[in-house]
């Protein structure tokens, strides 16, 4: 349209523009097409339990069945009325931080929200991609607005050649600036959530642990919370690839709990299968289960 006169800025503009555009499209794509993660089969009721649950009419007896089924599962949170969190629709005991999405009609692990902009649930499987998508769209809008700014100023001082293209400058600047401002507020909010290790749902309603609602129940401190979402290896933080290796076991053992000790993640590698008698396939990478356990046990 109105390219800079020198070659150097042209090259820089081209490189930065395409780089931010590619990263933006890549993370957007991953956010849209990564299916939400659902709880593993261990959280479903057994056939016998399901039949018994359906036969029972009294909520107390139903809760008793659920309590029995949830005994060996690593669950630390309940409903506000201290009942086991159960999804009638999927017929499963909800793991901590899991919520049923009515739009996807499925229980979603660490559900954050259902996002109409990406027509997908944002949760455990794609939260990192969602954040990168916001970040790269910000960068993209900022770059467009910044490079158009000088022509935008010229538009108002009547220094632009009188062609149709001068209205493109106006439009481009306003759209880029508008998106930048609206995404900035959303991105800042999510940065705050990541720092606190909260999902949007938990920010509105604190999860209930043994000793009551605790909005910081999953927090491990800012740096660890960041790693919860972006993974341990900083070199992958800016790439929309899944870096939270899902462990094969819930790092949880009843025996450890009884000993008053939560097993460290590294203690439960493949060999953990032998140690953890009731180990179920992992729903999450469990460092924040450690926080949940701490929150739960302070009430003891
Ligand atoms: Zn469900
Ligand atoms: Zn959904």
Encode pLDDT of 235-284 as tens digits: 889 999 877 644 433 333 333 433 444 444 334 333 333 333 333 334 45
Q: What ligand has the least distance to the C-alpha of 125? A: 2
What residues does the ion ligand 1 have nearby, CB within 5 Å?
Answer: 87, 89-90, 100, 107
Q: Which residue has the higher pLDDT, 211 or 120?
A: 120
Kindly give the distance from the C-alpha atom of residue 106 to the centroid of ligand 1, in angstroms, as a whole number: 5
Residue 292 reports pLDDT greater than 70: no
**Bigger pLDDT: 223 vs 192:** 192
Q: What ligand has the least distance to the C-alpha of 113?
A: 2
- Enumerate the β-bridge partners of residue 115: 120
Candidates 44, 104, 115, 191; catalytic one? 115
Percentage of the chain modeled with pLDDT above 70: 79
- Range 184-196 average pLDDT: 96
Nearest ligand, CA 201:
2
Q: Are 74 and 97 in contact (CB under 8 A)?
A: no
Find the range with the poorest average confidence among 22-36, 52-66, 228-242: 228-242
Helix (H, G, I), strand (E, B) or coil at 154: helix
Question: How far is ligand 1, taken at its centre, from the CA of residue 90, in Å?
Answer: 4
User: Which residues on adjacent β-strands are paired with residue 92?
Assistant: 44, 87
Cα–Cα distances (Å) from 159 to 1, 117, 165, 167, 206, in that order, read 14, 38, 13, 13, 56
- Please tell me the distance between residue 98's alpha carbon and the centre of ligand 1 in angstroms: 9
Distance CA 271, CA 196 (A): 32
pLDDT at 102 over 70: yes
Q: What is the mean pLDDT of residues 119-130?
A: 92
143 in Cβ contact with 52 (< 8 Å): no
Instruction: Determine the Cα–Cα distance for residues 300 and 296; give it in Å rounded to an integer.
Output: 8
Cα 108 to averaged position of ligand 1 atoms, centre (Å): 7
CA-CA-CA-CA torsion sign (173, 176, 182, 184):
negative
pTM for this model (two decimals): 0.81
What's the 263 CA to ligand 1 centre distance in angstroms? 29
Whether the predicted pLDDT of 286 surpasses 70: no
Cα–Cα distance for residue pair 178/74, rounded to 1 Å = 45
Host H or E run for residue 212:
strand 212-213
Q: Look at residue 202 and tell me whether its pLDDT is greater than 80.
A: yes
What 8-state DSSP symbol labels residue 95? P
115 given a catalytic annotation: yes
Q: What is the mean pLDDT of the chain?
A: 81
Residue 101: other Cβ atoms inside 10 A = 18
More confident residue, 141 or 269: 141
Least confident of 40-54, 102-116, 213-227, 268-282: 268-282
Q: What is the pLDDT of residue 298?
A: 52
- Out of 55-59, 110-114, 182-186, 279-283, which region has the weakest mean confidence (pLDDT)? 279-283
């Amino acid at each position: 349209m109105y390219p800079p006169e020198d070659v150097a800025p042209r090259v820089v503009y081209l490189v930065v523009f395409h780089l931010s555009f590619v990263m933006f499209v890549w993370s957007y794509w991953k956010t849209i097409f990564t299916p939400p993660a659902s709880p593993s089969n261990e959280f479903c009721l057994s056939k016998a339990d399901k039949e018994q649950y359906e036969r029972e009419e009294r909520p107390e007896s139903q809760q008793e069945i659920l309590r029995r089924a949830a005994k060996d599962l690593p669950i630390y949170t309940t409903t506000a009325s201290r009942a086991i969190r159960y999804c009638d629709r999927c017929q499963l005991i909800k793991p901590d931080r899991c919520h049923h999405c009515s739009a996807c009609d499925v229980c979603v692990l660490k559900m954050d929200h259902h996002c109409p902009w990406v027509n997908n649930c944002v949760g455990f499987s794609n939260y990192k991609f969602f954040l990168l998508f916001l970040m790269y769209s910000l960068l993209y809008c900022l770059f467009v607005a910044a490079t158009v700014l000088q022509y935008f100023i010229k538009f108002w001082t009547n220094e632009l050649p009188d062609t149709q293209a001068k209205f493109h400058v106006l439009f481009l600047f306003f759209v880029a600036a508008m998106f930048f401002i609206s995404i900035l507020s959303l991105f800042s909010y999510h940065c705050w959530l990541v720092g606190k290790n909260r999902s949007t749902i938990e920010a509105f309603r604190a999860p209930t642990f043994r000793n009551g609602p605790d909005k910081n129940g999953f927090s491990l401190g800012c740096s660890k919370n960041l790693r919860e979402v972006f993974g341990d290896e900083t070199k992958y933080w800016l790439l929309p690839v899944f870096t939270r290796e899902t462990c094969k076991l819930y790092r949880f053992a009843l025996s450890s709990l009884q000993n008053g000790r939560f097993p460290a993640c590294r203690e439960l590698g493949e060999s953990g299968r032998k140690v953890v008698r009731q180990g179920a396939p992992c729903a999450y990478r469990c460092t924040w289960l450690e926080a949940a356990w701490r929150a739960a046990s302070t009430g003891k």
